[in-house]
A and B are shown apart, each in its own frame.
Chain A
Amino acid sequence: MNSPITNKATDQLINQSTDQLINFLLSLADSNLILAQRNGEWCGHGPVLEQDIAITNITLDILGQGRNFYQYAAELISQSSGEPATEDSLAYFRTEREFKNLLLCELPKGDWAQSVLRQFFYSIYTKGLYTQLLNSKDDRIAAIAEKSLKEVNYHVRWSSEWIIRMGDGTEESNQRLKNALKYLWPFTGEMFIPADFEKDNGVDLSLVKNEWQKNVQNVFEEATIATPDINMVMQSGGKQGIHTEYMGFILAEMQYLQRTYPNAEW
């Protein structure tokens, strides 16, 4: 028979691992939601109608992927804390410091080059990450990854083609891509700096990094763009809830309605 102390220790360990699973799910959900919110700014403002539709379609996909992670997190939170949580309460009623999204996702949309380059970095990253999550011990995470990957493949192809088109295009498009690269590159490293909740859930970001670097370089070569140093000093903090000055403005806009009129519905 176990002593009460051992039982308590086991309980604590289970609680800790559930907490880390919730944190991991929230980080995945938050990055998708915040990027969707940013990309959504293109709706009705795309350079041409077809590309406006393309980026908003991609946005709908990643919003859906985010919802799948939120729904799972909400169930676990409701079970473990006894306080009911929903995908909506997690999106609309958490504060800035509780959001664990990558800084990359919250940066302004900028021009077309900046938005497409960000999507390219993010899609290649999620492709590597979700591929690894296919083998997750958690069946539900593996299922979300399997579903998401089919969509992400489209996003990778669309954004890769745009990078080549702009880099190997006109002087203007090439310059805009270079400007975007200079701005966004210092925010890419954060993807591969593992947080505790990633390590605890069996994610090996060094493998994702190798694959990401290789894929980015291949497309950049074709786009006649030099790949910057991946080991330079990078910005970080998003996974720990320390965000850029842009985050508060995003939440103010995104959460305003629900905070002013709680539970309002369409």
Chain B
Amino acid sequence: MQQQTIHIKQAEKKIWSLLANITDPEVPVLTILDLGIVRSVEITDTGIDIVITPTYSGCPAMDMIATNIRMELLAAGYEKISVKNILSPAWTTEWMTQAGKEKLKAYGIAPPSDKQQVCSSGLFSPNEAIQCPQCNSYHTQRISEFGSTACKALYQCIDCREPFDYFKCH
């Protein structure tokens, strides 16, 4: 019995490593594991159950991510794959891995702050101190709380003048 459990754990580990090959279609430097949207992987008598959660309700990438998971596992010889979308607990940027944050920065997108500052509902809240991914200056300003995708805000560096996306806290 114990041996069987170990066997299943190892098989699940194999699936996790395959999932690490799948990237976010909108931010291709991030894998879905970096984003923290894969909530569980389970091997059951009937097949493989994978649970994912969306970053935002309207995230258009979710259907594609679910399809890509299926394709990746089919290509590796797996069958009877179920990809389920759950909403609770709601995704938060706190689930993003440290490696993911570093990749984002190298890609030119400011990663979410470790300490969430603007998730309060206070009006006209002061700009969050976001570091410019180009020149590392904290002398930056928010242009808009909404950016090119649901998960980003628009910032500009006052020192190097470069506009950049900030993966906003959520």
Interface residues of A in 155-202 (CB under 8 A from B): 156-158, 160-161, 164
Q: Are A153 and B121 in contact (CB under 8 A)?
A: yes
Complex contacts, A157 vs chain B, CB 8 Å: 121-123, 125, 145
CA of A54 to CA of B119 in the docked complex: distance in angstroms? 17
Q: Total interface residues on A, using CB and 8 Å?
A: 33
Main secondary structure of the interface of A (DSSP, over half): helix
CA of A257 to CA of B88 in the docked complex: distance in angstroms? 34
Q: Are B170 and A64 in contact (CB under 8 A)?
A: no
CA of A50 to CA of B90 in the docked complex: distance in angstroms? 27
A43 close to B (CB within 8 Å): no
Q: Name which residue of chain B comes closest to A32, CB basis.
A: B57
Q: Are A147 and B57 in contact (CB under 8 A)?
A: yes
Q: With A50-B143, A143-B87 in contact, do A64 and B56 touch (Cβ < 8 Å)?
A: yes
A19 close to B (CB within 8 Å): no
Complex contacts, B119 vs chain A, CB 8 Å: 153
Residue among B58, B59, B145 with the most chain A CB within 10 A? B58
Q: Are A147 and B143 in contact (CB under 8 A)?
A: no
Interface residues of B in 25-70 (CB under 8 A from A): 54, 56-60
Binds B, one of A55-63, A73-81, A107-115, A233-241: A55-63
Complex contacts, B124 vs chain A, CB 8 Å: 161, 164
Main secondary structure of the interface of B (DSSP, over half): loop
Q: With A144-B87, A150-B90, A160-B123 in contact, do A50 and B58 touch (Cβ < 8 Å)?
A: no
CA of A61 to CA of B88 in the docked complex: distance in angstroms? 16
Interface flags for B141-159 (1: CB within 8 Å of A; 0: not) read: 0011111101000100000
A89 close to B (CB within 8 Å): no
A101 close to B (CB within 8 Å): no
Q: With A143-B87, A146-B88, A161-B124 in contact, do A68 and B144 touch (Cβ < 8 Å)?
A: no
A251 close to B (CB within 8 Å): no
Q: Name which residue of chain A comes closest to B59, CB basis.
A: A64
Complex contacts, A65 vs chain B, CB 8 Å: 57-58
A53 close to B (CB within 8 Å): yes
Interface flags for B133-145 (1: CB within 8 Å of A; 0: not) read: 0000000000111
CA of A64 to CA of B90 in the docked complex: distance in angstroms? 14
CA of A150 to CA of B95 in the docked complex: distance in angstroms? 15
Residues of B whose CB lies within 8 Å of any CB of A are: 54, 56-60, 86-90, 119, 121-125, 143-148, 150, 154, 170
Query: Lowest 4 CB-CB distances: which A-B pairs, in order?
Result: A64-B58, A64-B57, A143-B88, A50-B144
Of the A-B pairs whose beta carbons lie under 8 Å apart in the complex, a sample of 22, sorted by A's number, is A50-B144, A53-B148, A53-B154, A54-B146, A57-B146, A57-B150, A61-B57, A61-B150, A62-B58, A64-B56, A64-B59, A65-B58, A67-B58, A139-B88, A144-B87, A146-B87, A146-B89, A146-B90, A150-B170, A156-B121, A157-B123, A157-B125
Given contacts A60-B56, A143-B86, A151-B56, 16 further A-B contacts (CB under 8 A): A50-B144, A53-B146, A54-B144, A57-B150, A61-B150, A64-B57, A67-B58, A68-B87, A146-B90, A148-B57, A150-B90, A154-B145, A156-B121, A157-B121, A161-B123, A164-B124
